Amino acid sequence: MASPKQIFAEINYEMVRKIADGGMGVVYEAAQHGAGNFRKVVAVKLIREEYSAIQEFQKNFIGEARLVADLIHTNIVQTYHLGQVGGQYFMVMEFVRGVNLEQFLEKHRATGKQIPVDLAAFIISRIARGLTYAHDKCDREGRHLNIVHRDIGPKNVMMAYEGDVKLTDFGIAKALDLMYNEEGKVIAGKDEYLSPEQASYAVTDARADLFPLGIVLTELLLGRNVFRAMDRAESRRNILSMPIPQFASLRPEIDPKLEAIIQKALQRDRAKRYQSAAEMMTDLELYLYSDRYGPTNEKLGVYIKELFGVRDPTPSSAPFRPSNPSTPR
């Protein structure tokens, strides 16, 4: 069987290197070639060979592509094209030069550094901004798509060296008429980043993305996920019943305003949780900007480059995961 490099060369894609391999997809860094020496670096997500003939996986892969095709937002990794070559489906996506949030966390753990509180809050506010757009999205007929990402976690957040924060991997998202869904029968998502609804097999809505967003915020602040256990079932039990700590007692720089945001995001009763990503984003932005000059994309970009020792303004990207003025961008 021909290699992906040989197959894609026929349609003017030069496969440079594999940058992620997991789940049902493999992601490559690729160069798209065109007339007049046109060259654009992209990411190509290819359905794994062993799943390419299984209708359920094909349907989900196509559904993901159709879903994200119209999610055009600065805080969401953009998808340009869905194609089929050599019997396999592929997506052409935006290539993000930078790191994912898991790598960002691991670098801080390795160096013994803590992520600055304001940058942690800023990163989460940008994810909330992308979720606000996705949660509010309607189709061309004006029907609300009822998108729920269902896989919010550090691997699925990319951060460019320029400081842009982008949500990616809608592979297990829930959306109207687009995605294969067995909600109530199986748990979608990673055990230590579930909402209580997901952990208890309940039907979810957009609020289910906000509890794990709160988890990621606390992980950025503390350097660890307080719900994670060695056993997957124990992680789910922690999500459902572990006493929620006062996070300021674990890191004194967390002030009462930020503590209140965290506690509201981690309400197990979704009626008491933030009712929308927009509401959570607004509280984070008021916390960041109401009385001071807060963080920006540029500030975050400088911090990431210094952290990873990036000096070349156009470095090769770290692995891609399928994961200003005083006002935020």
**Residues involved in catalysis:** 151
User: What φ, ψ does residue 304 adopt, rounded to 5°?
Assistant: -65, -45
pLDDT at 3: 67
The mean predicted confidence, pLDDT, of the chain is 89
User: DSSP code of 146?
Assistant: -
Q: What is the dihedral of CA 132, 134, 137, 143, to 10 degrees?
A: -120
CB neighbour burial string for 256-270, b if at least 16 within 10 angstroms, e if fewer: eebeebbbbbbbbeb
> Taking the CA of residue 121 as centre, how many other CA atoms within 13 Å lie in the half-sphere pointing to its CB?
25
Q: What percent of the chain has pLDDT over 70?
A: 88
The pairing of strands 25-34 and 79-85 is: unpaired
Nearest of 189, 147, 52, 116 to residue 108 by alpha carbon: 116
Q: What is the per-residue pLDDT for 180?
A: 58
pLDDT for 318 equals 44
Does 188 score more than 80 pLDDT?
A: no
Cα dihedral sign for 194, 135, 210, 296? positive
pLDDT, tens digit, 9 for 90 and up, residues 275-291 = 999 999 999 999 999 99
Domains assigned to the chain: 4-94 (3.30.200.20), 99-308 (1.10.510.10)
Query: Per-residue pLDDT for 323 more than 60?
Result: no
Lowest mean pLDDT of 44-53, 117-126, 224-233, 317-326, name the range. Answer: 317-326
User: What CA dihedral angle connects 35, 39, 42 and 46, to 10 degrees?
Assistant: 50
- Model pLDDT for residues 212-224, shown as the tens digit of each residue: 999 999 999 999 9
Residue 292, exposed/middle/buried by CB under 10 A (0-12, 13-18, 19+)?
A: exposed
Per mean pLDDT, which range of 241-245, 257-261, 318-322 is the poorest? 318-322
Read off the tokens for 162.
């320029």
| More confident site: 319 or 272 | 272
Residue 327: which pLDDT band, with cuts at 50, 70 and 90? very low
Distance (Å, rounded) from C-alpha 252 to C-alpha 127? 24
CA-atom Rg of the chain in angstroms: 20
Q: What are phi and psi of 132, to 5 degrees?
A: -55, -45
pLDDT of residue 73: 97
What are the pLDDT digits (tens) for 46-85?
A: 887 777 778 888 888 888 898 899 999 999 999 999 988 8
Winning range, highest mean pLDDT, from 51-65, 115-129, 301-315: 115-129
- Which residue spans within 276-321 are E strands per DSSP? none
Q: Are 66 and 112 in contact (CB under 8 A)?
A: no
